[in-house]
Amino acid sequence: MSRKLIIDTDTAGDDSTAILTALHFFDVLGVTVVGGNISFDQMVENALYTLELAQTDQKIPVYKEHPDPIMTLEGDRHQTEERIFASDGMGGANFPKAQQRPEDQHAVDFIIESIHRYPGQLEIAAIGPLTNIAMAIKRDPSIISQIKHLWIMGGTNHAPGNINAGAEFNFYTDPEAVKIVLHSGIDMTMVTWEQALRHAVMYDDDLADIEALNSKGSEFFLKVNLHTKAFEFKKRGVDGVTCPDSVTLALAANPDLISQATSYYVDIELKDGLTKGYNIVDVEGDLGKPANIRVVEAVDGAKFKQVLLEVLANIN
Ligand SMILES: [Ca+2]
């Protein structure tokens, strides 16, 4: 029986490939959309469109909220990333609206209810800001011991961030949520931004292999991600498609992709200033605190590419 998963996503660009990867390997109970990359309603549409593209046998429900970070005051907006993903979040593809509509139930209620329905069996992949996961923990702390594993794309391990020099986007957007999750005691793994940059970038040769699949999946991948490639090249000289979210799902599904991982004490800076949203990874144990999360330190990039090709080839 395949592993049960909820995927919590701010669906733009690579998130959509991560959803396809989740569907390929897991029994996905639902997709919860959290505020992050671009405008909230558009991310909901992107999740619905991605599910329609995948044409699963069973309907995969999509749940909404929270659209904003925990500490956002009424009328405030967090920084979104249309410059990376285009205004539709899908590289300007402007896909048609999917037939499926989001559910009425609140995403956090769905997460809590699902964990109780499958105690000790449900994994969660969180590939956006951690708002929904933190709110679920606050609302019902009894879920903590019942989550089988939480896979997080976020943060860095002593490396530059991507939203600014100090911080990675998901952690920066809702640092309070990260703090709650890191200190929750959930069994969890984090895949950091610099690991994605080192091991999960599809360069021109890789993109040619993807194009050669000539599947609906490969066509979708290229449409959605080439805008991001142009941004990454201009911003940091990385001439390829970065895949932080999809590599997180790929290694959640295939743990042999993780070449190295160590559990460390990780914590995050909340104060406004240069390092807001920066996370420390206490690799030398200076703080003398027990490890709270497993940090991925190396990924088998060649195997990741094979997984990605397998996922995209399968969508026709
Ligand atoms: Ca994401």
- Which of 173, 298, 225 is CA-nearest to residue 46? 225
CA of 140 to the centre of ligand 1 (A): 24
Domains of the chain with CATH codes:
4-200+243-297 (3.90.245.10)
Quick check: 127 and 103 in contact, CB under 8 A? no
CA of 127 to the centre of ligand 1 (A): 4
Angstrom distances, CA of residue 294 to CA of 63, 182, 255, 265, 271 = 28, 11, 13, 9, 25
- pLDDT per residue, tens digit, the chain (316 aa), is 699 999 999 999 999 999 999 999 999 999 999 999 999 999 999 999 999 999 999 999 999 999 999 999 888 888 999 988 889 999 999 999 999 999 999 999 999 999 999 999 999 999 999 999 999 999 999 999 999 999 999 999 999 999 999 999 999 999 999 999 999 999 999 999 999 999 999 999 999 999 999 999 999 999 999 889 999 999 999 999 999 999 999 999 999 999 999 999 999 999 999 999 999 999 999 999 999 999 999 999 999 999 999 999 999 9
CA of 85 to the centre of ligand 1 (A): 11
CA of 9 to the centre of ligand 1 (A): 6
DSSP type of residue 106: B
